[in-house]
A and B are shown apart, each in its own frame.
Chain A
Amino acid sequence: MKWNLKIVELIRPVQRFKTLKPFKSFKALAMLMLLAGGTTTGCRQQMADQPHARPLEPSGFFDDGMASRPVPPGTVPRGEEPGELLHPGKIAGKSAEQLPFAVTREVLARGQERYEIYCAPCHDRLGTGQGMVVRRGFPRAHSFHDPRLLEAPASHFFEVMTRGFGAMPSYAEALPPADRRAVIAYIRALQLSRNVRLADLPPEDQEKLRSIK
């Protein structure tokens, strides 16, 4: 019965611990508790500054000193299809014009809001590329009313926002894919606002414009 013997070997240290006089170990425990109590209680407001990490707080635990961990490269957010992310707006590998959702008034409003936060500093609110940051010395931003960008498919804007273009850095962190697409819809609206023909407008808007003249 070799295996039986082995179990006895394993149990032996536990048995040795059990044979300790209970009084002695209790005294040691009490001493330890007293010591711990004496060193940890002070006048410091410990409840206000608890030993856990809040977002972006420093931490000695990691080599780079950050408590918040960077997202590992290649991480795909939940709910976002990897295929969609890698081939934005492409159908059968070709750049497509249409967006993967219907362009409603809400989408355009969201696009306008995001555009004015993240794009307008350089591209300006009308999309002419004369934003405040450009006026302060940043390399010239492209105007959305340039023939090149008027002809560019929607997927081009998606890719520029995702990866950056020239001096423009990636805005993938600031604009989740759905927001990028809403911004594309708004860029299209900006482009239309300057390049629409009178005949394309609804009759009542045509009337309004004529009455201004």
Chain B
Amino acid sequence: MAQIFHPSTNTLSRVTIFGALFLIIGLLWLLAQINRSPYVTDVNVVRAQPVPFSHQHHVSGIGIDCRYCHKSVENSSFAGIPSTSTCMNCHAHIWTNSEMLEPVRESFRTGRPLRWTRVHDLPDFVYFNHSIHVQKGVGCVTCHGRVDLMPLMRQAESLQMEWCLACHRAPARFVRPREHVFQMDWVPSIDQQDLGEELVRKYNIRVEQLTDCSICHR
């Protein structure tokens, strides 16, 4: 009676079993990569906005402080999107004929707010408070990147939980003196780790409770 399987089937079966292992691992790796890619996180993806507002122009070019527009960042959970009247503080007199700024003027005339597309949108099950981060010396740049170099607003970081935890586990790697929180191009004059550890003590940052679930999920 003839054999049902040809001898080469032995090799084939070994390759298949071995290959399947790699295939499964590879697929898992691919899934993890996709989950961290801009396709899911929207990092560096520029959204369409009613007015192509340039942070680069207003921050680097003119030297306006973040807090001129984002007024509530120091004492509220929400940094604040400027009201149309804040834009009109200057644009009632500058670039008054600009086509680009027509939506701003229209909003000012009608009292209907501009509908900006939100760039940094945390899920609703996360409690996030800007004021405490600012008070404890987390610079704007640490989470938002070099906004002063962005002609159009985009996300610099993934805003995923592993990213939040990277700092909550070791804040000394990121904190800076309070007076430099809003400075875009600040670099530590001494080693960041030494400075950070000193500031963590000085600002009474309780690292051991920073990774409690209820710190962010309330």
Other-chain contact of A133, B78, B88, B94, B124 (Cβ < 8 Å): B94
Q: Mark A180-208, 1 if CB is under 8 A from B, else 0.
A: 00000000000000000000000000000
Q: Is the interface of B mostly helix, strand, loop or mixed?
A: loop
Tell yes or no: A213 within 8 A of B by CB.
no
Tell yes or no: A153 within 8 A of B by CB.
no
Q: Are B112 and A49 in contact (CB under 8 A)?
A: no
A167 vs B91: C-alpha distance when bound (angstroms): 11
Chain B residues with Cβ below 8 Å from A138 are: 90, 93-94
Chain A residues with Cβ below 8 Å from B67 are: 117
* Chain A min CB distance to B125 (Å): 5
Q: Are B78 and A56 in contact (CB under 8 A)?
A: yes
A76 vs B47: C-alpha distance when bound (angstroms): 38
A137 vs B92: C-alpha distance when bound (angstroms): 11
A46 — nearest CB in chain B belongs to which residue? B124
Q: Mark A98-117, 1 if CB is under 8 A from B, else 0.
A: 00000000000000000011
Q: Which of A116, A139, A173, A174 has the most CB of B within 10 A?
A: A174
Bin the interface of chain A by size: 20 to 34
Chain B residues with Cβ below 8 Å from A25 are: none
Bin the interface of chain B by size: 20 to 34
Other-chain contact of A49, B71, B81, B89, B123 (Cβ < 8 Å): B123
Chain B residues with Cβ below 8 Å from A50 are: 124-125
A121 vs B90: C-alpha distance when bound (angstroms): 10
A138 vs B71: C-alpha distance when bound (angstroms): 22
Q: Mark A115-134, 1 if CB is under 8 A from B, else 0.
A: 01110110000000000110
Q: Are A167 and B93 in contact (CB under 8 A)?
A: yes
Q: Are B90 and A133 in contact (CB under 8 A)?
A: yes
Tell yes or no: A47 within 8 A of B by CB.
yes
A167 — nearest CB in chain B belongs to which residue? B93
* Chain B min CB distance to A140 (Å): 11
**With A47-B125, A64-B112 as contacts: A118 and B68 at CB distance below 8 Å:** yes
A99 vs B27: C-alpha distance when bound (angstroms): 69
What are 29 residue pairs bridging A and B, where the CB atoms are less than 8 Å apart in the complex?
A45-B123, A48-B123, A52-B124, A54-B78, A54-B124, A55-B77, A55-B80, A56-B81, A64-B112, A64-B113, A65-B112, A116-B65, A117-B65, A117-B67, A118-B68, A121-B68, A132-B63, A133-B62, A133-B90, A133-B94, A136-B62, A137-B94, A138-B93, A167-B93, A169-B92, A173-B71, A173-B83, A174-B68, A174-B71
Which residues from chain A sit less than 8 Å from chain B, CB to CB? Answer: 45, 47-50, 52, 54-56, 58, 64-66, 116-118, 120-121, 132-133, 136-139, 167, 169, 173-174
